[in-house]
Every structure is written in C-alpha cells, then in structure tokens.
C-alpha cells in the first residue's frame, strides 16, 4: 500500500521517473486501476450536490470505461499512427502509466467546498490532463511533448465518441423499459471525474 501511495504522489508531482517505473512494472495494473477509481470517487464526492450517491458510483464506472478506451486509443494512435523510432509500447504499459496520471484527481473531492469547489475541481482536472500528457510521453518514449499532446487529443475525441455511443445504448436500453432515457445515463459519464488523467 505504501508503494501505491508513494507512486501516486510522485505521479501527481509529474515525476517522469515514476511513469517509467510503472510502465515497466507488469504487476502495477491493479494499482493503476485503484488510482483511477479513487480519483473518480473523489470527483463524484466533489460533485455530490449535482447528482447524489448514484453520481459517485456512475462516475467510478464511467472513469474505468473512459480510462480503458482512452488508453487503448492512445496506444493505437501513438504506436501505429504517430510513432517515433524509439516508440515501443503495449496496451498494458499505456494503461499503467495513464492510470497513475489520474492521481491529481483525488483533489476533486474539494468540489464540496462552498464557493470555490467548482474552481478547485477544474484545477484538479487540468492537473490530471498535464499528468496524462507526461504519462503518454513516457509510455510512448516520445522526446516531444507536442506529439504526446496530439495523441492525447486524438484519443480524447475517440473516447468521447465511444462513451457517447455507450450512453446512448444504455439510455436506449433503459428507456425501452420505461425507466428514463439517455439523459440520466449521460449525467453519470459527463462529470469531470469520469475522464482518466
């Protein structure tokens, strides 16, 4: 447990070395998943006023789906479309590094602070995005941060399309049974904490 906490703190500090470490540690996938879930739960708690406990659970589920989809697309784009001669990565390496990039999201729990909470959640989301860029740069062995940003943007757009399709599918399925349409399902996936890194 101490190893997980130390790694998460180093990841939040944007330490490239910890991203290299988790990239190489094939046993760290569970730790990365834990970081994603804890950050998502923190975000859900931070936005309790806008959705209650169902939002907290939905945010955690959405975060796991979003993390996996985003990591897979980042791997595909980064290794097949925008590789460099140094790029050698598998999906597991990208999952581990991007999972740890969610560490700053734990601060989204501050969203419950009256007045400044929403601003603190935005700051946590921006911090996560910067950590995601560092994670991608390290996982794909890029020398250019610009290339890592491009891969993250392409991956983000693809992830949003996939999650939107899932939400429509779930919404249509739920709506077919008379329990509501896509709007309630969309709320679970649309909060800031649903996105890894």
Specify the pTM.
0.81
Residue 148 reports pLDDT greater than 80: yes
Model confidence at 3, in pLDDT bands (50, 70, 90)? very high
For residues 190 and 113, what is the distance between their CA atoms, to the nearest angstrom?
Answer: 20
Domain residues for the domain of 98 are 2-194
* Number of domains composing the chain: 1
Of 71 and 59, the structure prediction assigns the larger pLDDT to 71
Average pLDDT over residues 20-31: 97
* pLDDT at residue 169 in the model: 82
Kindly report the average pLDDT of the chain as a whole number.
84
Q: What is the mean pLDDT of residues 62-68?
A: 87
Q: 80-84, long-range: CB within 8 Å, 24+ apart, which pairs?
A: 81/154, 82/147, 82/150, 82/151, 83/140, 84/140, 84/141, 84/142, 84/143, 84/144, 84/147
Query: In 3D, which of 97, 71, 54 has the Cα closest to residue 189?
Result: 54
For residue 163, the model assigns a pLDDT of: 77
In the numeric block, the tokens 């899932």 are attached to 166
Q: Residue 195 is encoded by which pair of tokens?
A: 């996105």
Confidence of residue 48 (pLDDT cuts 50, 70, 90): confident
Average pLDDT score over residue span 30-47: 92
Q: Which residue has the higher pLDDT, 141 or 53?
A: 141
pLDDT tens digits, one per residue of 85-122: 999 999 999 999 999 999 999 999 998 999 999 899 99
pLDDT confidence of residue 32: 97
Residue 14 burial (C-beta neighbours within 10 Å; 0-12, 13-18, 19+): middle
Res 192: pLDDT: 40
For residue 21, pLDDT over 70 is answered with yes
């Amino acid at each position: 447990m101490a190893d997980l906490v130390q790694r998460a703190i180093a990841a939040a500090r944007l330490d490239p070395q910890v991203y290299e470490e988790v990239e190489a540690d094939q046993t760290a996938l569970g730790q990365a998943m834990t970081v994603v879930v804890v950050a998502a739960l923190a975000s859900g708690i931070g936005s309790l006023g806008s959705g209650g406990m169902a939002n907290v659970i939905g945010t955690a589920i959405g975060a796991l789906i979003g993390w996996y989809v985003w990591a897979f697309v980042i791997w595909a784009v980064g290794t097949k479309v925008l590789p460099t001669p140094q790029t050698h990565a598998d999906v597991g390496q990208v999952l581990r590094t991007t999972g740890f990039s969610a560490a700053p999201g734990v601060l989204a729990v501050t969203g419950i602070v009256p007045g400044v909470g929403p601003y603190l959640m935005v700051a946590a989301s921006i911090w996560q995005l910067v950590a995601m860029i560092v994670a991608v740069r390290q996982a794909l062995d890029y020398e250019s941060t610009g290339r890592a940003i491009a891969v993250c943007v392409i991956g983000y757009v693809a992830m949003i399309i996939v999650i939107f399709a899932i939400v429509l599918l779930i919404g249509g399925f739920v709506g077919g049974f008379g329990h509501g349409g896509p709007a309630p399902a969309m709320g679970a996936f649309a909060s800031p904490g649903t996105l890894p890194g």
